[in-house]
Amino acid sequence: MTEEDRYLSFAELYRQEREGTDFVILTKAATASLLIMAPHGGGIEPGTVDLAHAIAGDDYAFYAFKGIKTSGNAVLHITSNRFDEPRALRMARRAEWVLTIHGCRGPGVPIFVGGRDGTRRLAIRRALQDAGFDARESERPGFRGNNPNNICNRGYSGRGVQLEISAGLRRQMFDHLRRRTGRCKTEVFYDFVNAVRRALEALAPRPAAPMAPSGGEPLWRTAASPDDLLKAFAIRAIVFMEEQSVAFSDEFDGAEEEAVHILGEIGGEPVAAGRLRFLDGWGKLERIAVRRRYRGRGLSHRLIDFMLGEAARRGYRRCRLHAQVHLIDLYRRHGFTPSGDTFYEAGIAHRLMTREKASPDEAARI
């Protein structure tokens, strides 16, 4: 624990701080065995979330704890040896190893490389040095990352890597480190990210994703039987709980019995699911999920079309949904328009999107 730490654990922090108001948790799952993490992001150690997210890209899992207070975010800092946020621990346990991105103070523009994984630590340090960065190992205890309880060492291998990036270097990576919105990244930012990603690719070349069986065209239906419901719930558990680390209590709520559940299958294999509810004259599309192996086939668009059609058949031409912000363009293609500010559900950024009525072509098909 550092002198600045107010809380000894996240149980203490949760009793005093509000998720969505004081902090948010951002996650993204991936098939690779590496988790990129920014445990002290946002106003705690500015710039580290941007760096971790860029390094993760579409290839590696990503987690960030992000302070969003208007001021005083330092109180949200929990030292890495005590970092026990439940979603972070779940994601770490599923990863072979963890790379954490931190910010530190002090003179100059060094990067301190630590962690228990000596081979990966050396490879990342050399890659950064080859790119012109002052990457070094530190004898300072807080920067060495040797404690088994350090969050960078909580993958199932028990060995990870942490990077402590000086404030001076982070200021060179952005046009303005204090501003949270509209922050522009510099060439230094991209040089750093590319150097780390080159090291990661050299350490473990990305395997080709397994191909899903073709199986023909998807068949869509409302889930009426217990067997259909079990299949739909299993898909949601895989996509939201396993991949996105959503808690069970957030994913499965008291609305399950009143909702209409949608199931899609290919060759008898469950591949996609969704949930429809009808509230205040609106059809609400929820829990839209496609299994990873079947993505890239347009199944999400077909699922959305089926759900819109089902809502219209029940007399609901106006529809709405809560879209994860990175999927806004997906829903725009179905006539939805975003409105209001970003908000957070299960630690994931969302926007409200609405669709007032079906297009003439869609109405003619219903």
* Predicted pLDDT of residue 357: 72
Cα of 232 vs its chain's centroid, Å:
22
Mention every residue, 6+ apart, whose C-beta is less than 8 A from residue 295.
Answer: none
For residue 346, what pLDDT is reported? 83
Residues 323 and 185 in one domain: no
Return the CATH number at 47: 3.40.630.100
Contact indicator for 161, 99 with CB cutoff of 8 Å: yes
On whether both 259 and 146 belong to a single domain, the answer is no
132 and 254 together in one domain: no
Residue 2 is assigned to a structural domain of this protein: no
Lookup: tokens for 172: 């060179």
Give the pLDDT of the chain (366 residues) as one tens digit per residue. 345 689 999 999 999 999 999 999 999 887 778 999 999 999 999 999 999 999 998 889 999 999 999 999 999 999 999 999 999 999 999 899 999 999 998 889 999 999 999 999 999 999 999 999 999 998 787 788 899 999 999 999 999 999 999 999 999 999 887 766 667 889 999 999 999 999 999 987 554 455 556 667 899 999 989 999 999 999 999 999 888 888 898 999 999 999 999 999 999 999 999 999 999 999 999 999 999 889 888 999 999 999 999 999 999 999 999 998 888 889 999 999 999 988 888 878 889 999 987 655 554 444
Within 13 A of 278's CA, how many CA atoms are on the CB side?
A: 14
- Please provide the distance, in angstroms rounded to a whole number, between the alpha carbons at the two ends of the chain: 62
What pLDDT does residue 103 have? 95
User: Could you tell me if 137 and 145 are in contact, meaning their C-beta atoms sit under 8 angstroms apart?
Assistant: no
Residues 261 and 337 occupy one common structural domain: yes
Residues 196 and 228 reside in one and the same domain: no
How many angstroms from the chain centroid is the CA of residue 192?
21
Among candidate residues 147, 166, 174, 24, the one with its CA nearest the CA of residue 87: 24
pTM, 2 dp: 0.62
Q: Tell me the CA distances in angstroms from 227 to 145, 262, 276, 323, one per residue in order.
A: 48, 13, 18, 28
Spatial neighbors of 131 by CB under 8 A, at least 6 apart, are 191, 192, 194, 195
Element (H, E) at 17: none
> Are residues 137 and 27 both part of a single domain?
yes
CB-CB contact of 262 with 232 (8 Å):
yes
On whether both 57 and 140 belong to a single domain, the answer is yes
Note the pLDDT of residue 214: 60
User: The tokens of 48 are what?
Assistant: 């580290």
Taken in order 325, 233, 346, 306, the sign of the CA dihedral is positive
Co-location of 61 and 95 in the same domain: yes
Kind and range of the H or E run holding 304? helix 299-313
CATH of the domain at 319: 3.40.630.30
Q: How far apart are CA 272 and CA 288, in angstroms?
A: 8
Can you state the percent helix, strand and coil of the chain, rounding each to 5? 35, 25, 35
Q: Which of 25, 17, 30 is nearest to 345 (CA)?
A: 25
Q: Which domain holds residue 336?
A: 219-365
* Residue 153 sits in the same domain as residue 247: no
Q: Of 93, 22, 43, 21, give the one whose Cα is nearest residue 63.
A: 93
Tally of structural domains, the chain: 2
